[in-house]
Amino acid sequence: MLFTLVFMGTGGIERSVCNVLAGLDRERFDPSLFFHHGPPPPDTIGRIPADVPISWGVGVEAYRRRELPRMLWRLFQEARKADIIVSGQEGRAALLARMAGALLGKPVLGMVHFDWGAFHREQPKRQLWGLKVLYPGMDRIVACGYDSAKAFAELVNVDRDRLEVIPNFVDADRIRAAADAPLPAWAVPVFQKPVIIAVGRLEPQKSFDMLIRAHARMRAAGADTNLLILGVGSLEAELKALVAELGVASSVFMPGYADNPHALMRRATAFALSSRYEGLPMVLLEALALGCPIVSTDCPSGPSEALDGGRAGVLVPMGDDAAMAQALGRVVTDVKWRDGLRQRALERADELSAERALKAWESLLAEV
Residue 114 has a pLDDT of 82
User: Which tens digit of pLDDT belongs to each residue from 193-202?
Assistant: 999 999 999 9
Q: 87 - beta bridge partners?
A: 4, 110
**Among residues of the chain, what percentage have pLDDT more than 70?**
99
- pLDDT at position 157 is 84
Asked whether residue 254 carries a pLDDT value surpassing 80, the answer given is: yes
Does the pLDDT value for residue 314 go beyond 80?
Answer: yes
The predicted structure's pLDDT at residue 307: 97
Span 89-119, pLDDT tens digits: 998 999 999 999 999 999 999 999 988 777 6
This prediction has a pTM of 0.86
Confidence of residue 210 (pLDDT cuts 50, 70, 90): very high
Percent of the chain's residues with pLDDT above 90? 80
Q: What angle do CA 227, 317, 357 make, to 5 degrees?
A: 85
Q: At 55, is the pLDDT very low, low, confident or very high (cuts 50, 70, 90)?
A: very high
**pLDDT given at position 353:** 81
Supply the pLDDT for residue 268.
98
Top pLDDT among 307 and 61 is at: 307
Q: What pLDDT was estimated at residue 10?
A: 82
Confidence of residue 70 (pLDDT cuts 50, 70, 90): very high
How many beta carbons lie within 10 A of that of residue 249, not counting itself?
Answer: 11
User: Could you tell me the domains of the chain?
Assistant: 2-169+353-367 (3.40.50.2000), 173-351 (3.40.50.2000)
| Distance (Å, whole) CA 75 – CA 78 | 5
pLDDT for 129 beyond 90: no
Query: What pLDDT sits at residue 109?
Result: 97
Q: Give start and end residues of each alpha helix (H) in 82-187.
A: 92-104, 116-119, 125-134, 146-155, 172-179
Nearest alpha carbon to residue 250 among 272, 280, 225, 229: 225
Q: Round to whole Å and give the CA distance between 120 and 112.
A: 13
pLDDT digits (tens, 9 = 90+) for 171-201: 999 999 999 999 999 999 999 999 999 999 9
**Per-residue pLDDT averaged across 244-266, rounded?**
96
Does the structure show a pLDDT above 80 at 120? no
Q: Considering only CA atoms, which of 144, 137, 97, 93 is closest in space to residue 116?
A: 144
